[in-house]
Amino acid sequence: MSTLKKILVNKDKSCKSVWFMRQAGRYLPEFREIRSQNQNFIKLCLNSELSSKITLQPIERFNLDSAIIFSDILMTPYALGQEVKFIKDQGPELSKFNLEIFLDKNEKEFSQKLNEIYKAIEITRKNLNKDKSLIAFIGAPWTLLVYMLNIKKDKNKIDLKKLEKENININKILKKLIDFLCTHIENQINAGADVVQVFDSWAGLIPNDHIKDYCFMPNAKIVEFCKKKKIPNICFPRGLKDKYKEFNQLVNPDGINIDYEIDPQWAKDNLRNVVLQGGLDPKILLKSEKEMIEGATKYIKTFKDIPYVFNLGHGLLPETDPDRVMKLIKFYRNN
């Protein structure tokens, strides 16, 4: 059993485990070389050989404890009939959502469209040391909905009018999304992944009167599915601030990734019966080595006597120096 699974399943606080969100990506020169020759991001995610190779790049470079499959949360709406484009310096752009097409999709067709991802997991598992975890992931229903319905105005706001206009269908969409996401999780686990992380990247944008329906309950249903199937799970409801506590109580995941707005001592005091993960601001890797070490020390000391997985409060930034990442890993392992 890998160290990550030991921590999540057995709550083994003597285990040390480190991996990073977006560890396979733009900050690595070996990734940029592949990307320069593969301009279509969706096609790259569906190239099982290259996807596996990218997944293993940070493991080969840093000997991290876990690999997370190179893919994207938007592969789900892609498999459900929406066109997905990634516009340079702007982010993803999805074609207009069609409820009829969405409701007409079935799980067999959905799985077939994502089959290359499952092949990539199979290849990676064969080439990954047995003591290392292979992490699958999904976007949480709400976060996918934000992209699918195009209701995000900017980084910190959603279009409430548009949300209200679609409200009649939202519960229907969420319910079906949960079913497809559970299928995607199971397919990834069957292919060789052994942990799943659920990214609710836009949880912090949900209006207070909808937080239970759009965040807590959908995540709880997914976690319930994982527990029924004995799949170790980690939730990342980014931006929830003090609502992290209620999320943890209602959703009850095996692990919870805190974002960098959450004070580590608050997390230790308020998030009980769960393995804590992450928290460190990825921007600190762009600062001086002294500041980086001081920031990491705060998390290491705070969580030293509880089960904890060293990670970040968001993904590694493209401008991060890989040598900095190596120094951070070495520091963590030596303390």
Would you write out the chain's pLDDT as a tens digit for each of its 335 residues? 889 999 999 999 889 999 999 999 999 999 999 999 999 999 999 999 999 999 999 999 999 999 999 999 999 999 999 999 988 777 899 999 999 999 999 999 999 999 999 999 999 999 999 999 999 999 999 999 999 999 887 767 888 788 777 666 888 999 999 999 999 999 999 999 999 999 999 999 999 999 999 999 999 999 999 999 999 999 999 999 999 999 999 999 999 999 999 999 999 999 999 999 999 999 999 999 999 999 999 999 999 999 999 999 999 999 999 999 999 999 999 98
pTM of the shown model:
0.97
Q: How would you class 119 by CB atoms within 10 Å of its CB: exposed for 0-12, middle for 13-18, buried for 19 or more?
A: middle
- The Cα–Cα gap between 318 and 325 comes to 12
> What's residue 168's pLDDT?
65
3-state helix/strand/coil string of the chain: CCHHHHHHHHCCCCCCEECCCCCCCCCCHHHHHHHHCCCCHHHHHCCHHHHHHHHHHHHHHHCCCEEECCCCCCHHHHHCCCCEEEECCCEEEECCCCHHHHHHCCHHHHHHHCHHHHHHHHHHHHHCCCCCEEEEEEECHHHHHHHHCCCEEECCEECHHHHHHHHHHHHHHHHHHHHHHHHHHHHHHHHCCCEEEEECCCHHHCCHHHHHHHHHHHHHHHHHHHHHCCCCEEEECCCCHHHHHHHHHHHCCCEEEECCCCCHHHHHHHCCCCEEEECECHHHHHCCHHHHHHHHHHHHHHCCCCCEEECECCCCCCCCCHHHHHHHHHHHHCC
Token couple for 210: 């909808």
Which CATH number belongs to the domain containing residue 321 in this structure? 3.20.20.210
> What's residue 88's pLDDT?
77
Pairing of strands 91-94, 84-87: antiparallel
> What's residue 65's pLDDT?
97
| 232 close to 195: Cβ distance less than 8 angstroms | yes
- The Cα–Cα gap between 71 and 44 comes to 9
Q: Max CA-CA distance within the chain?
A: 55
Who's near 90: CB < 8 A, 6+ residues apart?
none
- What's the number of CA atoms in the CB half-sphere (13 Å) around residue 301? 7
- The Cα–Cα gap between 188 and 171 comes to 26
Q: Which domain holds residue 231?
A: 3-333
The domain total for the chain is 1
- What's the number of CA atoms in the CB half-sphere (13 Å) around residue 181? 32
> What's residue 104's pLDDT?
94
> What's residue 26's pLDDT?
94
- The Cα–Cα gap between 55 and 66 comes to 10
Cα 249–chain centre separation:
20
> What's residue 71's pLDDT?
98
